[in-house]
């Protein structure tokens, strides 16, 4: 009996042979699939490479302005006084953009069951911070301080995005997003 015959007939070889054979088979199947099947994008590496004359398109960013347009401020303020406080919802309808209306009809809007956070207790003060402003869009952060006092009336921070829609004489500002910051205040001494 040769050394090769002895190695093939050994218990150790017969114990590991199915595992080694299975591993080789699996590697062969994976290699065949990678070779036969096209890549996910359906293009070869040669097709995916840009041509030497390729010039990437750049999308011009709208230039920021130093001051929020007056119309944007007015619309944001009126929206806070109407929709956010659930007062004069017919006026709020005209100020609401398509994103805030969320496909609601005017009749549905007037019920007050709208996708706008609510703030009760009247507004004593409303300092405003500008996150960004362009000629056609602005994001404003407004801290509403309630006119009424009590544990049910607490200040609230609202983020209001206004956009200029339409062109020419029909151009006007609308509120397209309203969110309330719902951060939970942490007490000074959490053990109390």
- Residue 66 burial (10 A CB sphere; 0-12, 13-18, 19+): exposed
If you classify domain 70-181 with CATH, what class do you get?
A: alpha beta
Tens digits of residue pLDDT in 48-107:
666 677 777 766 677 887 888 889 999 999 999 999 989 999 999 999 999 999 899 999
Q: 169, 152, 141, 173: which is closest to 74 by C-alpha?
A: 173
Q: What is the pLDDT of residue 36?
A: 74
Q: What is the pTM of this model?
A: 0.62
Q: 122, 121, 156: which is closest to 142 by C-alpha?
A: 156
Domain ranges of the chain: 70-181
pLDDT of 184 > 60? The answer is no
Q: 152, 92, 142: which is closest to 120 by C-alpha?
A: 152
């Amino acid at each position: 009996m040769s050394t090769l015959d002895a190695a093939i007939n050994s218990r150790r070889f017969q114990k590991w042979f199915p595992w080694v054979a299975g591993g080789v088979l699996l590697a062969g199947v994976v290699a065949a699939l990678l070779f036969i099947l096209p890549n996910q994008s359906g293009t070869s590496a040669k097709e995916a490479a840009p041509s030497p004359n390729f010039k990437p398109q750049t999308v011009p960013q709208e230039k920021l302005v130093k001051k929020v347009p007056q119309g944007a401020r007015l619309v944001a303020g009126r929206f806070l006084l109407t929709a956010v406080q659930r007062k004069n919802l017919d006026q709020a309808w005209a100020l609401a953009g398509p994103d805030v209306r969320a496909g609601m009809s005017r009749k549905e809007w007037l019920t007050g069951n709208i996708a706008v956070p609510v703030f009760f207790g009247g507004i004593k003060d409303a300092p405003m911070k500008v996150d960004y402003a362009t000629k056609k869009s602005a994001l404003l952060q407004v801290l509403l301080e309630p006119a009424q006092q009590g544990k049910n009336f607490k200040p609230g921070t609202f983020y209001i995005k206004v956009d200029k829609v339409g062109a020419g004489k029909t151009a006007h500002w609308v509120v397209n997003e309203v969110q309330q910051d719902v951060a939970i205040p942490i007490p000074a001494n959490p053990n109390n």
